[in-house]
Every structure is written in structure tokens, then in C-alpha cells.
Structure 1
Amino acid sequence: MVRLDENEISFPDPEVYDGHDGLIAFGGDLSVERIWFAYQLGIFPWYNPGEEILWWCPDPRFVLLPDEIKVSKSMRKILNRNVFTFSENRNFREVIKNCQQSERKGQSGTWLSDELMDSFIQLHEYGLAKSIEVWQEEELVGGFYGLQIGNVFCGESMFAKVSNASKAGFIHFVESNRNQLELIDCQSHTEHLESLGAKMIPKKEFLKILHENNERR
């Protein structure tokens, strides 16, 4: 495993370097420049606050191809009844704050540190990160955020205060952007996203799509 230099923004090539369980490197910093560079390589930070920063590129990779999204009959009824309304980039700070504070099954704390939050807020201010908000009678009840890299959306985290809120927001986002999105990176497996059609693909296949996307930008 490679230790990163805080004074140099670089990473091992994830195509040729395969660390333990997808762990590519550790150390470095959470500067906006480093995070943006990492995501363009298919690498993302995931670590416990207060510990060393860890950088990952797992194999296989959990992704969703927009044309393969699955919408159950019950979810389609909810969407057709307009139970929720949706917006984009209306309140990025509140979305990421709620993601940080949401309780996760099997987790006692959050991986989303204040420093990482600040960097993503900066990325949003630069137009590189976006949020999707889910509303119910003007109350923010769900949402998610991530980085937009050309035709690839790198999803980071989501939250829901009421049942089906985050699922509805995700479906709305995918269906509304189907023609502009080639792939949604979900990073690591969750049953929630698997039920919506996300699947594992080889890391090489994921990186090929990402690199071709970067070349077209």
C-alpha cells in the first residue's frame, strides 16, 4: 500500500495497482484538488474520522447503468401520486449535513468527517458536486449528493427521514437524466441500490468507461 505525499497530488494507477480489498493508498490530504483528481481516476476516500485517510478503488465495482434501473409497481405508484417533489442543488449543505447525521445499519458513527464535508461543499461551489433534494410539503425529507464527471455521476451518500424518500429521489434523478448519464458509480454494495438495479462489474470495465468519459469531456 502506498503512502501519499501531502505536497504532491498523485495516486498509484488503479489499473495496475490492486491493493488489499481495493485499498489503493493512505495519507495525503482532503484538498479539493486531490479529491477531484482522485475521482477522475476512479478512486475515492473512505475512512474513520480521526484516523489515517484511506483511498479505495474496489474490484468489482458497484454501479448502475441508467437504462437498467428497476422501479417496482409500488414505487411507480408513489411517483405517479406525486407524494414527493424534487429539486437539484437547492440546498447542498443541508443534504450533506443530513447524510453525515443519518444512522447507518451496522455503523456506530459516520465516515463523513467535517473536513471532508467542507471539501465537498467547496466542490459544489465550483460546480463539480451536486445534490438532489426530496421534499414533502416544503420539508426536506431525503436526498443524496455526489460528483458529476462528464456523463458519469459518482454517488456519495444519501439519507431519508421518511419511507421511500431517498429511493424516490434516486429514481427521479436517473429517469430525468437518462439521456445525459452513462453510468452512476455507487462504489460499494448496498441492498437498497441493488433493489434499484445496481450491480457489480469488473474494475477494469468501470475504469474503461470512466477514462473514455474523461477523454470526451
Structure 2
Amino acid sequence: MNFLPIPRLRPEHPAAFPPATQALDDPNGLLAWGGDLSPERLRAAYRQGIFPWYSQGQPPLWWCPDPRAVFDSAGIRLSSRFRRHLRGSRWQVRADTCFDAVVGACASAPRPGQDGTWILPEMRAAYGRLHRLGHAHSIEVFDGDRLVGGLYGVASGAMFSAESMFSAESGGSKVALAALGHWLAGWGWPLVDAQINNPHLLSLGAYEMPRATYLARLAELAELPGRPGSWSGLPPLAAATLAGVSSG
């Protein structure tokens, strides 16, 4: 890949990124390359609406696409059929009790149309460091002691940027996303960043927001106090509770 059209990030300036308006149209959102995956750089990136996404053998690539896929935290949709199924479910949802396992499951989950994963070992290590600092979090769905679904992402003030999710049983990731929305809406966090839209996310209530609008909302939300530290103290949430989430 020719990296000349985009700036190279320098290790000595972990918080410095080019303005998002300089991102390429093709590929959509490619903004910069290089740098590292230090906690300081990752936190600075997410607070500016930027995230890393690259493949084996490439340097870190940094993105800020336009438009941006987002959810309203109170607007995550589950179908009527799925909600009926949840009413009899024994699944429980927890937070931050097995972050590394969730990231590992997301890394190994098959993705239609994708060869391999962007969740490389160095990415897993970087987000693990961010988790231990209280800024990256996992939502975990359990059937007894067995992990059946989950997601992970990064909190910046009162904004949550979801990175990836997985299902070991059908519907596991949907429950994780709905539980995340339930908790965030209760805290007054209005949005979940989903980065790039796809038909599955659309079916769950995602919609596209112009990048300029997203960045303006993020600038406000990232300055709010948020909930730094572990979320493992949240009471477990019965998946059956989510049966009341509105359908599409």
C-alpha cells in the first residue's frame, strides 16, 4: 500500500492526529498510518473519533469514516420473535469479568467476506492494557458458566465506541448489545458508536450520522465524567429483562 497520501504518526507525539476532515474518501476514512498502540494514543484517538484497523503485515492504520454508524442507546431493536424467546431465557449479562476472553472470541469469530481478523495479537494486548486502566470494557453473556456472546469497546467520557462482538450461540451478540444499550441509557449516555454500518447492524437499529455531526456530539460527550474504572460491580442483568426492548 502507498502511504504517501496520508500523514505518518510519530511515536513521540501520542496525542497528535491530523484533522478528521483530511481523511480520504477512498478508502473511506483512512486518515493516517504509523505510530503505536499505546494507551495514550488509543485514548486520544477515540476522543477524536479515530480508531485503528489494519491487517497482518501492515503498520497501524487510523480511520474516521464518513458517514458514521451509530445507535441511540435507548433505540437498539430486537425482533418480536427474539424477544419472545428471551422471556424464557436463563442467560445472564455481566460486565468486565472476562475481557480477554471476549476479545479472543471476537478475534476468532468467522466474518462473512473477510479473510482473517484485524484483532491481531498486538491489538489484543493494547486493548487489554486499556481495559486494565479502566477505559476499555466488555459486555458478557453467560449461560451458567459458559460464555455465549459478548462485545467490547472503549469509553470516552459518556460515549461508548463498540469495537467487535461475537455469538457462540445464536443471539448472544444481540443480547450483549441490548444490555449495553440498557445500561448506557440508564446512565444518560445517548449514543453507541458502531463505526461502519452493515445490514446486521441496520437490523438492530443502527443508522448513519454525518461525520461532522458525530464529531460534534463526541466532543461534547467525551468531556463528561463518564464511568472510568472497572464495570465488574454492575449487578448481573437477566437477559429476560431485555424482552421489553422495542421491536423494529
Q: Which bin holds the TM-score, normalised by the shorter protein?
A: over 0.9
Q: Cα 1:77–1:37, aligned 2, differ >3 Å: closer, same or farther? A: same
Alignment partners' CA distance in 2, 1:196 and 1:151: 21
Alignment-derived partner of residue 8 in structure 1: 13
For residue 17 of structure 1, the aligned residue among 11, 14, 22 is 22
For residue 191 of structure 1, the aligned residue among 193, 196, 199 is 199
Helix, strand or coil for the counterpart of 1:157?
strand
Alignment partners' CA distance in 1, 2:117 and 2:73: 28
For residue 67 of structure 2, the aligned residue among 60, 64, 67 is 60
Q: TM-score, normalised by structure 2?
A: 0.84
Structure 1, gaps ≥5 residues long: none
Structure 2, gaps ≥5 residues long: 1-5, 226-248
**Alignment of structure 1 residues 92-171 onto 2, 5 Å:** 92-171=99-178
Higher mean C-alpha deviation, range 53-62 or range 18-27: 18-27
| Structure 1 position 72, deviation (Å) | 1.1
Conservation of the 8 A alpha-carbon contact between 1:129 and 1:145: yes
| Structure 1 position 103, deviation (Å) | 1.1
Helix, strand or coil for the counterpart of 1:86?
strand
Q: Report whether the alignment pairs 1:212 with 2:220.
A: yes
Structure 1 stretches of 4+ with a deviation exceeding 2 A read 214-217
Conservation of the 8 A alpha-carbon contact between 1:49 and 1:112: no
For 1:128, the aligned partner's letter is H
Alignment partners' CA distance in 2, 1:44 and 1:175: 24
Helix, strand or coil for the counterpart of 1:67?
coil
Helix, strand or coil for the counterpart of 1:50?
coil
Alignment-derived partner of residue 91 in structure 1: 98
Q: How many residues align?
A: 216
| Structure 1 position 17, deviation (Å) | 1.9
Q: TM-score, normalised by structure 1?
A: 0.95
Conservation of the 8 A alpha-carbon contact between 1:155 and 1:186: yes
User: Root-mean-square deviation (CA), in Å?
Assistant: 1.2
For residue 30 of structure 1, the aligned residue among 37, 41, 44 is 37
